[in-house]
Amino acid sequence: MSLHLVFSAAGWAACQPRARISDAVVVLGDGVYLASQEQPRAFQVLAEDAEIRGIRSHKSHMLITYEALVQLCADHQPVISWNN
C-alpha cells in the first residue's frame, strides 16, 4: 500500500485518479483546507496544521499527530508527495 501526502488542492486533484482505495492519504500544510469541504474520499488530516489554519476536520476525516504521520511513513511504501 502507498501513502499519499497531499499539500494543496492541486495536489489533491492530481492524487485522486492515481490513489487506490487501499492507499492511505494524509493532507497537511495548506492541504488541510480540503478537510473543511465535503470530499468523495476519506483521508487523514495532520492535526497541528489544521489547528494553525483554524480548520475543523469534517466528521469523515480523522485528525492525526506528527507521531502517527511518522508511523504511516514507516508502514507504507512508496510514500508519494502531491503539491501542484
pLDDT in tens, 33-81: 998 888 888 899 999 999 999 987 667 789 999 999 999 999 999 999 9
- Domains for the chain: give ranges and CATH numbers: 3-82 (3.40.1260.10)
pLDDT given at position 57: 67
The three three-digit cell numbers of residue 51, written as one number: 489547528
Reported residue count of the chain is 84
Q: What share of the chain is helix, strand, coil (3-state, %, to 5)?
A: 35, 20, 40
Q: What is the DSSP letter of 6?
A: E
- pTM of the predicted model as reported, rounded to 2 decimal places: 0.93
Q: What is the DSSP letter of 79?
A: E
The three three-digit cell numbers of residue 47, written as one number: 492535526
